[in-house]
Amino acid sequence: MSQFENVSVTKKANVYFDGKCISHSIELADGTAKSVGVILPSTLTFNTGAPEIMELIEGECKVTLAGATEAVTYKGGESFDVPGNSSFQIEVLETVHYVCHFG
């Protein structure tokens, strides 16, 4: 799916890590929350509340989930799951365009 239909978009961007990660929060008609954004080349650590699925639309990164000893490489068209109340480190090798699916 290349687009979402019937969504509400928060106009103000979520800006994290001095602008290295910028996203917009969206809500689907059924109440499902997602964020759509870009992460520029960098190494960042994100903390999660709810479980997340990070869907990469484009780009390439290495991800180390909390408790893992090795990073896994992901590219556009792939996704990875992050447990709730956890964290992950992401090393962005090529600007990542993503959709974060919450819950």
Q: What are the tens digits of pLDDT across the range 11-47?
A: 999 999 999 999 999 999 999 999 999 999 999 999 9
Structural domain contains residue 40: yes
How high is the pLDDT of residue 103? 82
Per-residue pLDDT band for 49 (boundaries 50, 70, 90) equals: very high
64 has pLDDT over 90: yes
Specify the CATH number for the domain of residue 84. 2.60.120.10
- Structural domains of the chain, count: 1
Domain that holds residue 60: 8-102
Greatest CA separation for the chain? 41
Per-residue pLDDT band for 2 (boundaries 50, 70, 90) equals: confident
- Transcribe 2-48 into DSSP letters: ---SSEEE-SSPEEEGGGTEEEEEEEETTS-EEEEEEE-SEEEEEE-
Structural domain contains residue 82: yes
Structural domain contains residue 69: yes
Question: Amino acid identity, residue 80?
Answer: F
How high is the pLDDT of residue 36? 97
Structural domain contains residue 57: yes
Structural domain contains residue 48: yes
Structural domain contains residue 1: no
pTM of the entire structure? 0.94
- What is the C-alpha separation between 15 and 3, in angstroms, rounded? 22
Structural domain contains residue 36: yes
1 has pLDDT over 80: no
Structural domain contains residue 3: no
* pLDDT greater at residue 103 or residue 77: 77
Q: Which residue has the tokens 């964290």?
A: 87
- What is the C-alpha separation between 7 and 5, in angstroms, rounded? 6
